[in-house]
């Protein structure tokens, strides 16, 4: 499948790249070292419609098409994966709210998120259950016209900075994946206790938390969609999520390649720029080819996941996520090699891109899970 980006896509790329170069890159190392969430940058990004760009205009969003959204993610991560993650994840869970939430949920929360005033989370993973979503142990029991939620969620992006989120819990424990329900949970609910996870290898500017749920009471009206249908609702968005991670990986790879190209054009050895050595020039050529191949597959996947009836969407999203994440780590690794010893210290951004790229092989389904999905659909 071949496609060509139009002028609107080019305009989106120029706008996000300018924002990344002027606003993100100058403070990227500081946020990484201090593990500081970029709240003000998130608010500023919202002014340019870079926060939750998929949300329709009627709720304050930009209503961007899938390729435009992919470009936004790619360019934010190209500037810096940590800050890019913080901005790009500010609307986690909003797809579920848009598709299955009641109108009051959309009107109350989506405009606040797109304006940068609030952030959301999506709470699925648990300490003993990552890829095995159906094995979750968090319980929600009906108590009059409320639900009482108890359990423990972990690896929750925005866990300590979000204002609201989509939380998955077992409402019929004996039914496995057929007994899971999605709830809209405000983070200021009594019994909602987040603990920041700040010993991460990378994307340190992005917030991550473990969440204890101790008798959290949620009104019956906060059920998103249907009771016991949460798993099936969730499955509809996994392909889009994986395509988004592929875009993250492409962006991180591009950032690492940019740094390697800059360094190779400046660094001299044996009275010449190191880019003039064939060993280095070939390395850069291979890196650039990997980035372009990953980008092409990612854009193709993004164009397919927009159609919920597209039988190719799941396979292509997993292919893109798998290939782009593996390529991203490889490119970042080679970027360090181009720098030599200078790439192993924090004086240059490549060591940060290397640390940041590594997460893309893990979340939204590990590379091993993606290969299972791909092989099942061959």
Please report the pLDDT score of residue 369 as a whole number: 94
Q: Could you tell me the maximum CA-CA distance found in the chain, to the nearest angstrom?
A: 79
Phi, psi of 140 (to 5 degrees): -125, 120
pLDDT at 310: 76
Burial of 333-346, coded b for 16+ CB within 10 Å and e otherwise, reads bbbbebbeeebeee
Domain definitions of the chain by residue range: 7-114, 122-230, 231-376
Q: How far apart are CA 116 and CA 38, in angstroms?
A: 11
Residues (pLDDT < 50) of the chain are: none
CA distance 300 to 302: 5
Strands 146-157 and 208-219: antiparallel
List the end-to-end C-alpha distance of the chain, in Å, as a whole number. 18
The pLDDT, as a whole number, for residue 6 is 87
Give pLDDT, residue 306. 75
231-376: CATH architecture = Up-down Bundle (1.20)
Residue 174: predicted pLDDT:
84
Which is nearest to 123 in space by CA: 203, 209, 196?
209
The fold of the 122-230 domain, in CATH, is: Butyryl-CoA Dehydrogenase, subunit A; domain 2 (2.40.110)
What tokens does 304 get? Answer: 């397919």
Catalytic residues: 364
| Spatial distance between the Cα atoms of 156 and 136, rounded to a whole number of angstroms | 14
What's the pLDDT score for residue 133? 81
CATH superfamily of this structure's domain 7-114: Acyl-CoA dehydrogenase/oxidase, N-terminal domain (1.10.540.10)
Torsion-angle region of 151 (φ positive above 0: left; ψ -120 to 50: alpha; else: beta): left
| Crossing angle (nearest 10°) for helices 81-88 and 25-34 | 90
Separation CA 111–CA 210 (nearest Å): 27
What is the C-alpha separation between 1 and 303, in angstroms, rounded? 10
Contact between 314 and 377 under an 8 Å Cβ cutoff? The reply is yes
Predicted local distance difference test score (pLDDT) of residue 311: 77
Contact predicate 251/17, CB 8 Å: no
Distance of CA 182 to the CA centre of its chain: 20
Residues 25 and 16: their CA atoms lie apart, in Å, by: 12
How far apart, in whole angstroms, are the C-alpha atoms of residue 347 and residue 343? 8
**Cα dihedral sign for 219, 225, 230, 236?**
negative
Q: What is the pTM of this model?
A: 0.95
Comparing CA positions, the residue from 219, 213, 109 lying closest to residue 169 is 213
């Amino acid at each position: 499948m071949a496609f060509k980006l139009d002028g609107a896509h080019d305009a989106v790329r120029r706008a996000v790249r300018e924002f990344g170069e002027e606003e993100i890159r100058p403070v990227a190392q500081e946020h990484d070292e201090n593990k500081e969430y970029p709240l003000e940058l998130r608010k500023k990004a919202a002014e340019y419609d870079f926060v939750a760009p998929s949300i329709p205009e009627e709720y304050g969003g930009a209503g961007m098409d899938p390729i435009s959204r992919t470009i936004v993610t790619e360019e934010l991560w190209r500037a810096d994966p940590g800050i890019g993650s913080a901005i790009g994840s500010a609307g986690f869970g909003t797809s579920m709210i848009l598709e299955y939430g009641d109108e009051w949920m959309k009107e109350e929360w989506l405009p606040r998120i797109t304006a940068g005033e609030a952030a959301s989370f999506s709470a699925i993973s648990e300490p003993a259950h990552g890829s095995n979503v159906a094995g979750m142990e968090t319980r929600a029991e009906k108590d009059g016209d409320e639900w009482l939620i108890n359990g423990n969620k972990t690896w929750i992006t925005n866990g300590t900075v979000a204002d609201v989120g989509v939380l998955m819990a077992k409402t019929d424990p004996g039914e496995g994946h057929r007994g899971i329900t999605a709830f809209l949970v405000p983070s200021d609910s009594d019994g909602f206790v987040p603990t920041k996870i700040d010993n991460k290898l990378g994307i340190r500017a992005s917030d991550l938390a473990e969440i204890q749920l101790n008798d959290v009471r949620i009104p019956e009206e906060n059920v998103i969609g249907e009771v016991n249908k949460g798993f099936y609702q969730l499955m509809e968005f996994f392909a889009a999520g994986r395509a988004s991670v592929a875009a993250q990986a492409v962006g991180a790879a591009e950032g690492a390649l940019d740094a390697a190209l800059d360094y190779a054009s400046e660094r001299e050895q044996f009275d010449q720029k190191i880019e003039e050595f064939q060993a280095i020039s070939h390395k850069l050529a291979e890196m650039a080819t990997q980035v372009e191949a990953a980008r092409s597959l990612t854009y193709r996947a993004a164009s397919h996941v927009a159609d919920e009836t597209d039988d190719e969407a799941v396979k292509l999203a997993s292919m893109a996520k798998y290939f782009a994440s593996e390529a991203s780590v490889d490119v970042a690794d080679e970027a360090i090699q181009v720098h030599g010893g200078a790439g192993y210290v924090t004086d240059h951004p490549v060591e940060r891109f290397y640390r940041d790229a590594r997460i893309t092989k893990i979340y939204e389904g590990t590379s091993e899970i993606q290969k299972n999905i791909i092989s099942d659909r061959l």
